[in-house]
Amino acid sequence: MRPFYVTTPIYYVNDRPHIGHAYSTVAADVLARYAKLRGRPTRFLTGTDEHGQKIEERARELGKDAKAFVDEMSPPFDEAFRKLGCAYDDFIRTTEPRHEEKVQALWTLLAEKGDIYLGEYEGWYSVADEAFITEMELKALDEVTRSKVRKVREPSYFFKLSAYTDKLLAFYEANPTFVQPIGRFNEVKAFVREGLRDLSVSRTSFTWGVPVPGDPKHVMYVWLDALTNYVSALGGPAAPGAAPLFDRFWPPSADVVHVVGKDILRFHAIYWPAFLLAAGLEPPTQIFAHGWLTINGEKMSKRLGNFIPPGPLVDELGADVVRYYLMREVGFGQDGDFAHRQVFARYHGELGNGLGNLLARMVTGIVQKSFEGVVPAPAALGYEERELIAIAERAAAQAASHLDVVAPHRALDAIFELVAAANRYIDRTAPWALAKQGELERLGTVAYTVLESLRWLSVMLSPFMPEKTAALRAQLGLSPLTPTEALDAWPKAGDWGGLAAGTQTAPAAPLFPRFDPKDEEAILERLGAAGTKGADAKTGAKQGEQGVEAPKAEKATKKSDEAASAAKQEKSVSESSGTIVFDDFMKVELRVGLIVEAEAVPKSDKLVRCQIDLGEEKPRQILAGIRLHYAPEALVGKRVIVVANLPPRKMMGLESQGMILAASDTEHGLSVLGLEKDIAPGTRVS
């Protein structure tokens, strides 16, 4: 199996760790845990970026020696990430000798190649972003960042970035998924196509950095230093055979994904591959640039005092709830909002009512009472069981394919389809009634089917919630998962039945105990979020994407203004017109359906009986009052939108298992809602 290496940005130690840092690191941890589960040799790196003018100045402001300052500021990052359950293999600090040596080695390779020359830099330098910026970019900056911009004129070494314009474009062409999401890749390409200027890669006006080999008056530009961490942590650059980790986990041997925020895409997608190409090394496989988080609709800023440290959240809710929320709330790649009240909404809804109840209903409710806590053997499988197994198989296949392309939010969507389906299955098969009637054989089948679904869920959710899934497995009587290299543990079609009948379950406290509203308010109070709005004020992931041109401070500010005003607008709408919250909308399960059969219902002039493929094991029968507007045969082959979670309803003695959406007006009559593209049957509409 192909090795996998995933990294986070290394974080500047001028500040304390906050939820934005946690976001990138948790995402990388999920990817690493997933790869390990699939049996891939996996390595996961995070760390801290400790050189540069910004940090030197911060230490000076505090009256501290720079080294003493970074030694004090780096460990809290490690602690915060560990507390979030992030299981990296290495934590690199750029002040470590193992790193500094390799930065100098990379410099030497670039110099030997003839790509470095001595000149003079005259222009603007943004200390906040540690970036050389143009006059135009300067104008676009917000006030705070602009106040930290310096006019610089100093001797400087330059890297011949201009010589890499065409090489980079050719590289992008040959690697069409090098940057994700694709919209951001297009912006990178457009930027490079404009032509690149040589890049200043050393500074002489301060000393807190890695000395340039042979000319120690210069320290290296902090981004050349920082980017090198991805290889220095593997012992590279190094000749083949000299650094086993580098040989194993850097291309061409491995797939490498750098998870970064969109604010630092330019450095990763342009400078970094250019340095590597110049040094004769392969660039990473992919840069995934995720979006920007606001907090309760506001930009995180010192002024607002809303830098949310992850620690107190973890103390109150546990690491897994925070991890789950971060991965679930915002489409990975899009901007979004971290809203404290929304954490509770998801906690109570999907985790408590969805997953937690499923477990409790079965393990504590049925298995304990009717089977003395022992997993029963299933008897003959009926349609309901086969349907649930098909849903489990589909969820597993879809979740895997989403995780393969770094779409953790979509993977969770797919996985929670199984949670919902298993709960529906319980509702439909009514195990309590079976218990009452003493139908133990049938009850055994139902219990087994739910327990096995829970086992599948414990595997698929383990990258997201390692602790909770271990607790879930313990209740099922299973030991924690131990990913093994070369052994793919992801559930697949044909794996159904892995839970051994006879296993002794171990009912325990609820996985996601309920907080009553008073407790919830008390927690919010302690987290300093009592005055924040609920889910209806959330700005969500609807915001546009940002370009790569402008430095990050400007982007974040502009974005947050939009976010804040969007939040305000949404709030006033919901207060004045009784709109529903987003979660209520999501309760309606809209799906793409393909009409495979349609016939008129005898004795009815309105009803058409349709068989609609919803991606389930067999088509559903749905009755629709559309005969006056559509000839039944004209409906066959149409894709329609179906409300898929309505209770079955009888019409003219026939059961209808859903509803087709349609609109009508007097001019056109009725039209069923369709799709412009052939989206697969069963796909959720949202």
Which residues are at the interface with ligand ME8 (CB under 6 A)?
Answer: 9-12, 20-21, 23-24, 49, 226-227, 229, 260-261, 263-264, 292-293, 300
Is 447:362 a contact under the CB 8 Å cutoff?
Answer: yes
Least distance CB 107 / ligand ME8 (angstroms): 16
Number of H helices, E strands in the chain: 28, 25
Nearer to ligand ME8, 330 or 388 (CB): 330
CB atoms within 10 A of CB 633: 11
Nearer to ligand ME8, 246 or 456 (CB): 246
Least distance CB 7 / ligand ME8 (angstroms): 8
Least distance CB 54 / ligand ME8 (angstroms): 9
Torsion of CA 219, 155, 141, 263, to 10 degrees: -40
* DSSP β-bridge partners for residue 337: 294
Closest of 243, 269, 120 to residue 186, by C-alpha: 269
Least distance CB 261 / ligand ME8 (angstroms): 3
Nearer to ligand ME8, 300 or 499 (CB): 300
With CB atoms as reference, the residue minimizing the distance to ligand ME8 is 20
Nearer to ligand ME8, 130 or 616 (CB): 130
Nearer to ligand ME8, 47 or 658 (CB): 47
Least distance CB 92 / ligand ME8 (angstroms): 10
Least distance CB 299 / ligand ME8 (angstroms): 8
Least distance CB 567 / ligand ME8 (angstroms): 15
H/E run at residue 522: helix 517-526
Separation of CA 507 from chain center = 31
Nearer to ligand ME8, 49 or 393 (CB): 49
Nearer to ligand ME8, 299 or 361 (CB): 299
Tokens of 485: 């290299």
Least distance CB 553 / ligand ME8 (angstroms): 10
Label residue 341 left, alpha or beta by phi (over 0 means left) and psi (-120 to 50 means alpha). alpha
Q: Which amino acid is at 466?
A: P
Closest of 134, 14, 127 to residue 64, by C-alpha: 14
Question: Hunting for tokens 């062409």 — which residue is that?
Answer: 173
Question: Hunting for tokens 């925020």 — which residue is that?
Answer: 261
Is 77:10 a contact under the CB 8 Å cutoff?
Answer: no
* Interhelix angle 66-73/53-61, nearest 10 degrees: 100
User: Per residue, what are the HEC states of 56-78?
Assistant: HHHHHHCCCCHHHHHHHHCHHHH
Nearer to ligand ME8, 257 or 389 (CB): 257
Nearer to ligand ME8, 45 or 614 (CB): 45
Secondary structure of residue 293 in the 3-state scheme: strand
Question: Hunting for tokens 């009926």 — which residue is that?
Answer: 382
Least distance CB 555 / ligand ME8 (angstroms): 10
